[in-house]
Amino acid sequence: MRFEISGNALIARNGYETLKIEPWGKDSLRVRAVQYDKWTGNDWALTEEPEKTEAEARIGSEDYWDGYGEPRPVPFGEIRNGRLRAEVNFAGVISFYRDKKLILREYYRSYGGTLSKESRCLKVVNREWKGNIGGGEYALTVRFDANEGEKIFGMGQYQQPYLDLKGNILELAQRNSQITVPFLVSSLGYGMLWNNPAVGSVTFGKNLTEWTARSTKQMDYWITAGENPKEILKNYTGVTGRAPEFPEDRMGLWQCKLRYRTQDEVLTVARQYQKEGIKIDQIVIDFFHWTVQGDWKFDKTYWPDPKAMVDELHSMGIKVIVSVWPSVDRRSENFGPMMERGLLMRAERGEAQTYDYQGDCVVIDPFNPETREYVWEVCRRNYYDLGIDAFWLDNSEPDMGVYDFDNYRYFAGPATECGNMYPQLYSRAFFDPMSKAGRGPVVNLLRCGWAGSQKYGNVIWSGDVPSTFESLRDQLQAGLNMGLAGIPWWTTDIGGFMTDDVNDRDFRQLLIRWYEFAVYSAVLRMHGDRGPYNIPALDDRDWGGGYLHTGQPNELWSYGEENYRIMRKYYDVRIAMHNYIKSLYREAQENGSPLIRTMFYEFPKDKKCWELQDQYMFGSEYLVAPILHLNEFERDVYLPAGKWENVNTGEITEGGQTVRVKAPLDEIPVFRKK
């Protein structure tokens, strides 16, 4: 291993590999490595200018004994940036220290290194590069020792009941309801970003941690040290970006269903809300309001005057958001021009088809700047110029007929190399020009994101999830981990997306419990595909705005008088918290804090809070204990030290204990810190 210092960076060379470690923001280091000294120049998620810090790199030597003869001096390199220090030994093994405590070390079980003689013959190394035959990329594996007792959080959204990810295997790939945001927060006081958009996996095993990228040219990760999770997230969002301003006029209720089929349906619903005295902030026009996928325009048969519709909605103080999909049907007027100009995703083998729902489609390639310009120009002309306020960028993973990532290629390279950035670039096709247009803060709705997506005006929802209590429990874990991955604007379909029968009593109970939870989250949004499907189509065409099915009504009053009473009650609770919610959005903008927070985010010194996953903090003041099981009408709630007021009863309770709380259907247990 040969070491050198270049500026304030530590460089280490061994064989074909060059390793570079440099300061990158407060108490943080960026670690990169390539083969043959071929640097890519990609910063990926690290888009912000890092804070300048005082850092020091040095080279030294230490005695090493290989079991034969006398000890001999071998070189090592060291770099320190604030509270974080990295050491690289003569075998290239990196060890990270927070202050003087070891927090992370690369896994090395081969000749030399720092580990025991019993392990050295395994020939398992810390950074393993395997060339993809016939290509210029590598399959990369990076390994770290597992830390006994460590807890790991963040990493985006996975549909599973685990908040602590230790012991989990996670696919690093985007799918409907699965969102890879590869930033973790450790209970040992550090955070780590796997700054690589390649498809792969991570295993947080008991015996080792292993990151893989199926196709890449460069290893790239960033690590930071912090006193607590809030400080770690502040450091992370300082280098990847923070959420912009969130407009006050969208902090209330968003109304949506699958699907409003005509402009008359939209206006009828909006007028009824106005009659009921309920202010909705935004109404959503869902998919297949268009002619065919990829035309990105209203079907004039059912939307004869969308501008007049938008104008009337605006007169009621309602913003309008329209669904846009990235799929382009071969029948679309845009398919030929986009295919001819190379603006669609490319299949490496076989026919050019990537999506097959309601049409033979190919999805757009947002990695190509020309694609982003083309799509925006069409949507500007057909939507934005009519007064449409925002876009629901659905299927933004993108959804594909078959997730054969190795069969797809983008302008930037193979999907296996860069595909996880797709949702972020898709969102920028709209965020960038909308920001320049100057019509106010940009807030678009997406089903997926990646590291840094928070800075592009993305409200991310949890995808097409089942309408079950099991799913509700999963969404809580998903939302909390998304927040720890730097995504503060997160929401769900209230009641879940897939419902067979809206008249089912168990579903109606689930809906209320989900709604109560959503009131204490970033965005309160009604949506869902509500069965039974007994509403006839508007026409018998196989295209256009009339042929596809619609779900049952999904307005607040659609589920009986008792449910309406409860939902109206909690709507009023939401509106009454407006100024508080405004302060939470401002905090997200200032330091990256999520709106819904794990208990340990606010109480990091309370060991009990690191174990809890069925209650959370809504900001710093409200402790929320959602009801997560059918026919559950009381539950245990842990109160950290201090005084807590039960917002339902007004009773003051001393913290540092677990209390039993009643939860009738019209109450969610919530305590306010005094």
Instruction: Cite the active site residues.
Output: 394, 397, 464
**What is the edge-to-edge ordering of all strands in the sheet holding 408-410?**
346-347, 408-410, 413-414
- The rounded distance, in Å, linking the Cα atoms of 543 and 358 is 9
Q: In this structure, what token pair is assigned to residue 386?
A: 């009519």
Note the Cα 492 to chain centre separation in Å: 12
Question: For residue 495, which phi and psi values (nearest 5 degrees)?
Answer: 90, 0
- The rounded distance, in Å, linking the Cα atoms of 441 and 453 is 15
Alpha-carbon separation of residue 404 from 119, 371, 527 (angstroms): 37, 22, 30
Expressed in angstroms, the distance from the first to the final Cα of the chain is 58
On whether the CB atoms of residues 55 and 85 are closer than 8 A, the answer is no
Give the helix ranges, DSSP H, for 458-504: 469-484
Burial class (CB in 10 A: 0-12, 13-18, 19+), 74: middle
On whether the CB atoms of residues 11 and 20 are closer than 8 A, the answer is yes
Q: In this structure, what token pair is assigned to residue 218?
A: 């460069």
Longest dimension (CA), the chain: 91
Q: In this structure, what token pair is assigned to residue 93?
A: 């093994």
| Beta pairing, strands 408-410 & 413-414 | antiparallel
- The rounded distance, in Å, linking the Cα atoms of 236 and 222 is 9
Alpha-carbon separation of residue 557 from 506, 550, 567, 568, 569 (angstroms): 17, 18, 8, 9, 12
User: How many CB atoms within 10 Å of residue 562?
Assistant: 12
Helix/strand/coil percentages in the chain, nearest 5: 25, 30, 45
Residue spans of beta strands (DSSP E) within 99-168: 101-105, 127-131, 138-145, 152-157
